[in-house]
Chain A
Amino acid sequence: KAGVTQTPRYLIKTRGQQVTLSCSPISGHRSVSWYQQTPGQGLQFLFEYFSETQRNKGNFPGRFSGRQFSNSRSEMNVSTLELGDSALYLCASSGGELAGFYEQYFGPGTRLTVT
């Protein structure tokens, strides 16, 4: 099976702009989660989608949003970018139905730099 793919891999944006990141989960996986990784805060949970519904949400401002399509592919959007949004954004998919009960398979991440 193909692994989790994320596009783009690298992105440079300017403060105030918005960005959309894409994630394709492992075939058959219906759960997709997003994480932000920074040196200072570590790995922070953004949100999880399951069968097109947001099932869980982390403590991030409303500028961070996401969605999942019927084929389980997911996108996350960050509006009005701030310097502090510079991070590695990781997407992970899981094959189980119960939230948080199964291992997650991570994509390579999208490195976002905000200038």
Chain B
Amino acid sequence: SQQGEEDPQALSIQEGENATMNCSYKTSINNLQWYRQNSGRGLVHLILIRSNEREKHSGRLRVTLDTSKKSSSLLITASRAADTASYFCAFTGANSKLTFGKGITLSVRP
């Protein structure tokens, strides 16, 4: 399957803690993106990292990409209850299609 795989499938942390989510893929990619989805609603784009980049920051988000290991991680620092959502990695390969992983459910306890 070309689908990405996220790890862990579910994560529960206390408010203020950091959350780390991982994504692995099997093909060569042009870029990798992370999205957030709140309770069956539309997805919100968080961050995009291109294949020639290794790290990117956006506010409390930090994304890394290791193309040799075909993996990426998303770090959310100082988590808040409002960060509770499902997080998806998505990547574009040679076929130019955006392929999503199964998602990670993050619960942040107040």
Contacts and interface: CB of A to CB of B under 8 A. Distances in A.
A103 B101 contact: no
Interface string A45-75: 1001000000110100000000000000000
Contacts of A99: 92, 96-97
Contact of B97 (A42, A58, A103): A58
B10 to A, nearest CB: 14
Interface residues of A, number: 27
Contact of A103 (B33, B99, B102): B33
B43 A45 contact: no
Q: Is the interface of B mostly helix, strand, loop or mixed?
A: strand
Interface string B75-110: 000000000000010101001111111110000000
B98 A45 contact: yes
A99 B35 CA distance: 18
B48 interface: yes
B44 to A, nearest CB: 7
Interface string B29-63: 01101010000111111001000000000000000
Contacts of A44: 100
A90 interface: yes
B3 interface: yes
In this complex, which of B35, B42, B44, B100 has the most chain A Cβ atoms within 10 angstroms of its Cβ?
Answer: B42
Contact of B98 (A4, A104, A108): A104
A109 interface: yes
A90 B42 contact: yes
A99 to B, nearest CB: 4
9 contacts: A45-B98, A45-B100, A90-B42, A90-B43, A92-B43, A100-B96, A101-B92, A102-B48, A104-B45
Interface of B: 3, 30-31, 33, 35, 40-45, 48, 88, 90, 92, 95-103
Interface of A: 4, 33, 35, 42-45, 48, 55-56, 58, 88, 90, 92, 98-109, 111
